[in-house]
């Protein structure tokens, strides 16, 4: 039996990559709905044609209910506020959901935690498998290197990205903090400017760069006495994120309620 997948945010660049990935697995996967926010000029058009694959008989709609009517799992890439409302639909319908949205505030995060008591949720700021492995490496390195090794994280994305630092940069920072038995809220430093004084030992600094059409470039720098260690990842195309998200959706079907990450899926 094919795995029935619905996509929310299907009209955007990432959404259309997800459409292509699901359709490329037509022997084992079925796209049952493609949803985007109201007011989009592409609404009503065949999503297969929008994705450059020819008509498939599924039109882009703004009906969120369509995503949950016949799907075994929903993949959601939208905005933080919209994702919060989609999460409520997922809970009401008992449908697992893969969330790739970033920029959540504390209220959103609490809602995700509460929903995970009822349904399986996969939450990730980056669905690249390479990033997940880099995150594990960062945590291990932070555990092995003491606080004489300063940690700085740089990230660069395209000019249209609206949140900073990126969700991936924050995840990498959280991994580094965990490696040292700390919380990122305790040790994270953002937006240095002006006369800042000397660097405080044990902090994790962030620098966000924006420009051009860069998909995503992340670097974690461990600057120690006399040497530097750098762990990085560069995304060369968006299809890697779609591949990871569809793989995550397939894995999530049949899981028990809970909040999962790609590290759970990869058993890292």
Task: Report, as residue numbers or ranges, the catalytic residues.
Answer: 157, 161
Strands 216-224 and 150-157: antiparallel
CB atoms within 10 A of CB 101: 24
Q: How far apart are CA 35 and CA 10, in angstroms?
A: 6
Q: Shortest CA distance to 115 belongs to which of 250, 257, 265, 255? A: 257
Strands 120-123 and 97-99: parallel
| Virtual torsion, Cα 264, 265, 267, 268, nearest 10 deg | -70
Q: Shortest CA distance to 85 belongs to which of 102, 68, 64? A: 64
SS3 205: strand
Residue 184: CA count within 13 A, CB half-sphere = 17
Ranges of beta strands (E only) in 117-159 are 120-123, 150-157
Name, in order, each residue with C-beta under 8 angstroms of 118's C-beta and a sequence gap of 6 or more.
91, 94, 257
- How distant, in Å, are the alpha carbons of 24, 132, 146, 242, 248 from that of 99? 21, 15, 34, 12, 10
Q: How far apart are CA 80 and CA 63, in angstroms?
A: 18
């Amino acid at each position: 039996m094919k795995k029935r997948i619905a996509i929310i945010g299907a009209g955007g660049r990432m959404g259309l990559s997800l459409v292509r990935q699901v359709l490329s697995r037509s022997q084992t996967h079925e796209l049952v709905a493609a949803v985007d926010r109201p007011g989009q000029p592409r609404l009503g058009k065949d999503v297969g044609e929008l994705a450059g694959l020819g008509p498939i008989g599924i039109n882009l709609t703004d009906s969120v209910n369509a995503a949950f009517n016949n799907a075994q799992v929903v993949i959601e890439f939208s905005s933080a506020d919209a994702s919060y409302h989609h999460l409520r639909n997922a809970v009401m319908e008992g449908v697992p959901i893969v969330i790739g949205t970033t920029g959540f505030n504390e209220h959103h995060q609490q809602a995700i935690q509460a929903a995970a008591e009822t349904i399986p949720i996969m939450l990730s700021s980056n669905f690249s498998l390479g990033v997940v492995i880099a995150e594990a490496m960062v945590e291990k390195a932070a555990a092995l290197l003491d606080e004489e090794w300063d940690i700085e994280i740089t990230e660069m994305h395209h000019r249209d990205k609206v949140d900073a630092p990126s969700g991936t940069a924050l995840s990498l920072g959280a991994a580094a903090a965990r490696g040292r038995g700390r919380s990122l809220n305790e040790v994270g430093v953002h937006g240095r400017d002006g006369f800042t004084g000397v660097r405080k030992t044990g902090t994790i600094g962030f620098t966000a760069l924006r420009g051009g059409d860069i998909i995503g470039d992340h670097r974690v720098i461990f600057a120690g006495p006399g040497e530097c260690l750098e762990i990085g990842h560069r995304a060369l195309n968006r299809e890697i994120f779609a591949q990871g998200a569809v793989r995550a959706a397939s894995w999530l079907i049949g899981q028990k309620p809970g909040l999962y990450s790609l590290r759970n899926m990869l058993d890292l």
